[in-house]
A and B are shown apart, each in its own frame.
Chain A
């Protein structure tokens, strides 16, 4: 199918560009000289729809939709190679996290793509129980992305259970409510910090 690929000024969101430069990791993105070292050093960039370099350019130009719906955020392996090699000391990996959080908040991450779903279920479970139960996280992830795959994985799952590698029952920490209070407080202080900037 032919697809028109031209960007009018209205597809740009200057507020998003400003937001990006206010995030931890995003402070320096304007200084990026688009050398592409990050993309070249990244072990997974060959799978990305926008290379890290491109993502930075798109973000600072305010192409919000392209940035937040990009697979790149979710492919990032957090290996920090880009951050180490960047000649302008741009904190690319940290910036990826900021973008991931925003994509989650706006629910624009690629649907049925396992990585964001996994991330979401993982943190939901931690928030709830203070612990992660792999069986449940994996099962929910498969159900939300490709439940057919779950069937294919049951054999392996059962084997792991039998050897005690996977447990069926969710475990929980003591003092769950305190953990939740802590997480809320952290969230609130972050909001305050952003508001004061």
Chain B
């Protein structure tokens, strides 16, 4: 450690600066001559202390700063090391410990910006000197700033009532927080409620899900709003104002007990409407309930098919049948306002539309099914009470399951949907168990990475299911041999055997991938968060902040972030709940002071800045005719300051003079 404290006390009225350069092991010192940089910095005006040290972020490194501040009466600190993303906070705290305002500090990133990206040692050292000079010039002009604190409303909004939303809501409610759970459909449960069994344990989906669903309904801390959607979100972390649209279900929820007398009494003697919950494999009436354990256990009237809603001219036999007077055709759509501090988004996924892969014949051949349809078929409370039947009522003797439909394909979706291999194995087991059929799995790679997943694959192998490695080229009814007549034939290269095969079956199951909800783009805009290019919600950091978004206080969980199975969904929902709790229990959030403000005397009221702000933080004060920046909403992006024609917007830490002296510092060589 070189102790270059020799530049005496003569600073000619400039603030007294301490300069520190970090070796970062060999990350920096391997390329940059840190001793030379320290010696160089020492010669710059104002620098009273200049040191190099192995690890500035270590406790002794931080202590060094705090000590020097006291000993050498330092007024500004510059640390040349890694990215401010990693350690700006560390060094600000060290400055504060020494008794300095933490914003009298500037960090220089000579690792990501110099040592890691250059091979020429001399040139990299020269560049490091330039960057350090710039920081030293700018830090002189820094001002003392204070972080702002805003209170956090303890109530939480959870959007989407699949297993992710249910788990997040229960975790928060059990911690004593008031939760509002908003679900678009008439019942919570999401996709999991449609399954018979779940991999890899084959435990019954309803048995593990419905207790959680009724816990949501009966929890004193949870308000459950089904048949509802979030329309608008205003405000900022800690105090969001949410507008929820509540669609009329024409049933008084507090009166209906779900006895279903009304359904029997409906003037439609025969069920005629395709039942969406059963994937259209059965029919329902205009008044219906999705499944026996629907939560809330309240019927719903579908306005598109109910004669009374459409024309007002129905005998309303349902109303007569209900002895609790729960049916109410006067219900109108409502808008409800809600105040919360944090939000968990758990809006899930949508299965890939197999019509986009026409070579598999979905919609053309009645023997072709989606995986979700089969989930309903093998379900004891499904349309066939668990019997595996083709659409024309036959028991299939052979069934082919095609993996990766709409996944790993440049023409549809590039990504691996992560759960299809496993649910295909599950369905292979269930189909064999329920029907005794010969089952063929056609896969590209078998992806079974999870606890007890490989073991599940081995179980299926032992059960004698056929595993043919190859992507099916087409499903056709064009028979080439006698035994293929009346069958659906799958043409595939058996890449393990080394020849092409034609496999005739009676039923084809398409393992369709997971894609973003159709309205994910709109939802993302309402909550002001980002989407990846494939359309799933974007996490703040793929490894280190997987449930956070770029909007503080808005968290994501489950398949809305990326395809994932139930164990991962639940883990993520718990993490999102914990992140929300951390904010709520802290009681306040600290905001960076790098916000912008308007110099009122100079603002001409041109309103140029208002539409530019990506965070809608700028409003127009009609009485004063001036722009006004809400500093809680301002994220310090600087767009307004750059755009203001009269230069009347100033951004803390990025004032013109600071930026100019920084530029001067870079160029001063």
B464 neighbours in A (Cβ, 8 Å): 21, 30
Report the bound CA distance from A88 to B457 in whole Å.
13
Contact B504 A9 (CB under 8 A): yes
From known contacts A9-B484, A31-B458, A31-B461, infer whether A57 and B496 are also in contact, taking CB-CB under 8 Å.
yes
Report the bound CA distance from A21 to B481 in whole Å.
28
B458 neighbours in A (Cβ, 8 Å): 31, 33, 88
Contact B480 A32 (CB under 8 A): no
Which of A10, A32, A34, A50 makes the CB contact (< 8 A) with B483? A10
B556: min CB distance to chain A, Å: 36
A88 neighbours in B (Cβ, 8 Å): 458
A71: min CB distance to chain B, Å: 15
B401: min CB distance to chain A, Å: 16
Report the bound CA distance from A7 to B502 in whole Å.
6
A58 neighbours in B (Cβ, 8 Å): 497
Question: At the interface, yes or no: B462 with Cβ under 8 Å from chain A?
Answer: yes
A30 neighbours in B (Cβ, 8 Å): 461-464
Question: At the interface, yes or no: A61 with Cβ under 8 Å from chain B?
Answer: yes
Question: At the interface, yes or no: B469 with Cβ under 8 Å from chain A?
Answer: yes
Minimum CB distance partner of A21 in chain B:
B464
From known contacts A30-B461, A33-B461, infer whether A9 and B502 are also in contact, taking CB-CB under 8 Å.
yes
Minimum CB distance partner of A32 in chain B:
B461
Question: At the interface, yes or no: A169 with Cβ under 8 Å from chain B?
Answer: no
Minimum CB distance partner of A66 in chain B:
B497
A8 neighbours in B (Cβ, 8 Å): 480-481, 483-484, 501-502
Minimum CB distance partner of B466 in chain A:
A61
Report the bound CA distance from A184 to B466 in whole Å.
38
B463 neighbours in A (Cβ, 8 Å): 30
A28: min CB distance to chain B, Å: 8
Minimum CB distance partner of A36 in chain B:
B496
Minimum CB distance partner of A53 in chain B:
B496
A72: min CB distance to chain B, Å: 13
Contact A54 B498 (CB under 8 A): yes
Contact A7 B461 (CB under 8 A): no
Report the bound CA distance from A5 to B493 in whole Å.
11
Question: At the interface, yes or no: A63 with Cβ under 8 Å from chain B?
Answer: yes
Report the bound CA distance from A34 to B497 in whole Å.
10
Question: At the interface, yes or no: A6 with Cβ under 8 Å from chain B?
Answer: yes
A53 neighbours in B (Cβ, 8 Å): 496
A interface residues, tally (CB under 8 Å): 22
Contact A34 B469 (CB under 8 A): yes
Question: At the interface, yes or no: B604 with Cβ under 8 Å from chain A?
Answer: no
Minimum CB distance partner of A56 in chain B:
B496
Report the bound CA distance from A7 to B483 in whole Å.
13
Contact B501 A7 (CB under 8 A): yes
The B interface, classified by DSSP as helix, strand, loop or mixed, is mixed
Report the bound CA distance from A58 to B462 in whole Å.
16
Contact B499 A6 (CB under 8 A): yes
* A-contact bits for B437-480, CB 8 A (1 contact / 0 none): 01000000000000000000110011110101100000000001
Question: At the interface, yes or no: B642 with Cβ under 8 Å from chain A?
Answer: no
Which of A14, A21, A33, A57 makes the CB contact (< 8 A) with B497? A57
B29: min CB distance to chain A, Å: 45
Question: At the interface, yes or no: B503 with Cβ under 8 Å from chain A?
Answer: yes
Contact A7 B484 (CB under 8 A): no
Contact B497 A5 (CB under 8 A): no
Minimum CB distance partner of B504 in chain A:
A9
Q: Which of A140-188 contact B (CB under 8 A)?
A: none
Contact A61 B499 (CB under 8 A): no
Q: Which of A83-99 contact B (CB under 8 A)?
A: 88
B523: min CB distance to chain A, Å: 41
Question: At the interface, yes or no: B380 with Cβ under 8 Å from chain A?
Answer: no
B500 neighbours in A (Cβ, 8 Å): 5-7
A54 neighbours in B (Cβ, 8 Å): 496-498
Report the bound CA distance from A88 to B454 in whole Å.
12
Minimum CB distance partner of B503 in chain A:
A9
Minimum CB distance partner of B438 in chain A:
A14
Contact A61 B461 (CB under 8 A): no
Which of A6, A14, A31 makes the CB contact (< 8 A) with B501? A6
Q: Which of B579-634 contact A (CB under 8 A)?
A: none
* B-contact bits for A40-58, CB 8 A (1 contact / 0 none): 0000000000100110011
B457 neighbours in A (Cβ, 8 Å): 33
B366: min CB distance to chain A, Å: 21
B498 neighbours in A (Cβ, 8 Å): 50, 54
Q: Taking each of B481, B484, B496, which has the highest tally of chain A beta carbons within 10 Å of its own beta carbon? A: B496
A33 neighbours in B (Cβ, 8 Å): 457-458, 461
Q: Which of B494-513 contact A (CB under 8 A)?
A: 494, 496-504
Report the bound CA distance from A58 to B468 in whole Å.
11
Contact A61 B497 (CB under 8 A): yes
* B-contact bits for A4-37, CB 8 A (1 contact / 0 none): 0111111000100000010000000011111000
Report the bound CA distance from A42 to B500 in whole Å.
26
Which of A5, A21, A34 makes the CB contact (< 8 A) with B499? A5
Minimum CB distance partner of B469 in chain A:
A34
Contact A7 B499 (CB under 8 A): yes
A63 neighbours in B (Cβ, 8 Å): 497
Q: Taking each of A9, A21, A32, which has the highest tally of chain B beta carbons within 10 Å of its own beta carbon? A: A9
B8: min CB distance to chain A, Å: 72
Contact B496 A31 (CB under 8 A): no
B661: min CB distance to chain A, Å: 64
Contact B462 A34 (CB under 8 A): no
B504 neighbours in A (Cβ, 8 Å): 9
Report the bound CA distance from A57 to B497 in whole Å.
7
A112: min CB distance to chain B, Å: 25
Report the bound CA distance from A53 to B496 in whole Å.
8
Report the bound CA distance from A33 to B458 in whole Å.
8
B501 neighbours in A (Cβ, 8 Å): 6-9
Minimum CB distance partner of B498 in chain A:
A54
A6 neighbours in B (Cβ, 8 Å): 499-502
B486: min CB distance to chain A, Å: 13
Q: Which of A61-109 contact B (CB under 8 A)?
A: 61, 63, 66, 88
B477: min CB distance to chain A, Å: 15
A13: min CB distance to chain B, Å: 13
* A-contact bits for B96-126, CB 8 A (1 contact / 0 none): 0000000000000000000000000000000
B169: min CB distance to chain A, Å: 41
Q: Taking each of A10, A50, A53, which has the highest tally of chain B beta carbons within 10 Å of its own beta carbon? A: A10
Q: Which of B260-314 contact A (CB under 8 A)?
A: none
B497 neighbours in A (Cβ, 8 Å): 7, 54, 57-58, 61, 63, 66
Minimum CB distance partner of A34 in chain B:
B496
Report the bound CA distance from A7 to B496 in whole Å.
13
Given contacts A7-B501, A9-B504, 12 further A-B contacts (CB under 8 A): A6-B499, A7-B499, A7-B502, A8-B483, A9-B503, A21-B464, A32-B461, A33-B458, A33-B461, A54-B498, A61-B466, A61-B494
| 14 sampled A-B residue pairs with Cβ under 8 A | A5-B500, A6-B502, A7-B497, A8-B483, A8-B484, A9-B481, A21-B464, A31-B458, A33-B457, A50-B498, A53-B496, A54-B498, A57-B494, A61-B466
Q: Please name the 3 residue pairs, one residue from A and one from B, whose CB atoms are nearest each other, closest first.
A: A57-B496, A7-B501, A6-B500
